[in-house]
Amino acid sequence: MQIDLSRKYKDLAKRAVNKKAAYGIDIDLKMYEDAAEVGNYKGLDTLPTEIKEAALLAGVDVTEKNRSGTYMQIDHSVIYNKIMASYENKIEIISVNDALEKFPEMEKYWWQAVNVDQDKYTANAELKPMHGYFIRVLPGMKIDKPIQSCLMLQENAKVQNVHNIIILEEGAEAQIITGCAIPPKVKEGLHIGISEFYIKKGAKLTFTMIHNWAEDFHVRPRSAAIVEEDATFINNYVLLKPVKSIQMFPSANLIGKNAKAQFNSILYGKEDSHIDVGSKVILTGENTAGQAVSRAIVDDNATIYARGTLIGKNDTVKAHLDCRGILASKDAVMYAIPELVADKSTHAKLSHEAAIGPIGEEEIEYLMARGLSKDEAVTLITQGFMDTKILGLPEMLENSLKEMINRTRDDTM
């Protein structure tokens, strides 16, 4: 029998249905209808061509040959999930709804990292129909091929609610790549994605999220990680396509001794995109360490807010923010907003570095003197500025991501 956790949190959510987010553009949720149920597919190769192409641009390997497992959701339906044979009994990948029914211990994870009443978007995710994935890597398992998930909306003017639970048990290691996308026919809509991460003692997770949306699409992820002793959480985010607005401020609470967290983001603001992306590292445990690295290019009429917060709660912690932006248009706007908080920790070492500016003319002239056109020189400089090496990915996953970025860049630049 499914655990009725909704009853426990429904009252809190109801009180927050009109609560605006702390940052970002406010959205009238009544503008969007709930997404519908769709049918299942036997394999990713049987998906319609436009769905497969959209998934590829969000980093999803439809062949699955370099993946350990796959979860795919379209609109309000889980249409496919599979664990490769060699990874059976090492990982679990199922719908979060099935996990609520299957595992009594889900109560320890449901709305424990993210507050259900954080704002109107978390409230909506609790009160309206939702799906999402449950991924658990079993104790001591080292998963050498990435786990992939794809969250897609194929209907126009709909809202997709997703609630994901990711657990790495003690000593486990894995990479997860999540692609969020829409096919070309979808022009507007709203995606609300709740993700709760639980990284147990000695575990390591590299989580990479790639967004491929549209000019009139709104996106509201809400995510948080709890990181235990000697564990590591690396969170990567890539946004290269125009979007009406996106607002997210993921956090990691390092509660265990020697825990580490790193947030990396690569952002390309085009057209009239309003992008408000930040990260927060709460350094609670002894000898914990954090880092946040952001690279952003702002073009056309786009606006980017690059936020970063470090909160030191222990004298032995250290963390650093590194935010850099290129303003590529006189009509673009970028804000770099670092925040350092020493909370009763007189010896905490917290630092930041932020810089915003144009592409240097001397760099362009240097490359033009060696035979490149001005456009070629600018392209080469921006490619170097947004180098995926800052994400710290395994080589196989980095190569895959580079190919995806090149395809997307050719389509947008």
For 268-295, how does the pLDDT look when each residue is reduced to its tens digit (9 = 90+)? Answer: 999 999 999 999 999 999 999 999 999 9
* 5-14 and 120-127 helices, crossing angle to 10°: 140
| Residue-wise pLDDT tens digits, 174-185 | 999 999 989 989
Q: What is the pLDDT of residue 412?
A: 45
Q: What is the pLDDT of residue 393?
A: 62
d(CA 309, CA 319) in angstroms, rounded, equals: 10
User: Which has more pLDDT, 68 or 357?
Assistant: 68
Range name among 57-61, 90-94, 340-344, 393-397 with the lowest pLDDT average: 393-397
| Residue-wise pLDDT tens digits, 306-321 | 999 999 999 999 999 9
Q: What is the pLDDT of residue 386?
A: 67
Beta strands across the sheet bearing 349-357:
77-83, 69-74, 147-152, 173-181, 204-212, 232-239, 260-269, 289-298, 318-327, 349-357
d(CA 121, CA 24) in angstroms, rounded, equals: 12
Q: What is the pLDDT of residue 218?
A: 97
Is the pLDDT at 100 greater than 60? The verdict is yes
Relative to beta strand 204-212, strand 173-181 is parallel
At 397, is the pLDDT very low, low, confident or very high (cuts 50, 70, 90)?
Answer: low
Range name among 5-14, 154-163, 396-405 with the lowest pLDDT average: 396-405
- Highest mean pLDDT among 33-47, 328-342, 358-372 belongs to 328-342
Is the pLDDT at 24 greater than 80? The verdict is yes
Relative to beta strand 204-212, strand 232-239 is parallel
Is the pLDDT at 261 greater than 50? The verdict is yes
* % of residues, the chain, pLDDT over 70: 91
User: Which has more pLDDT, 217 or 52?
Assistant: 217
Relative to beta strand 333-342, strand 303-312 is parallel
Four-residue CA torsion sign, 142, 143, 144, 146: negative
Q: What is the pLDDT of residue 404?
A: 54
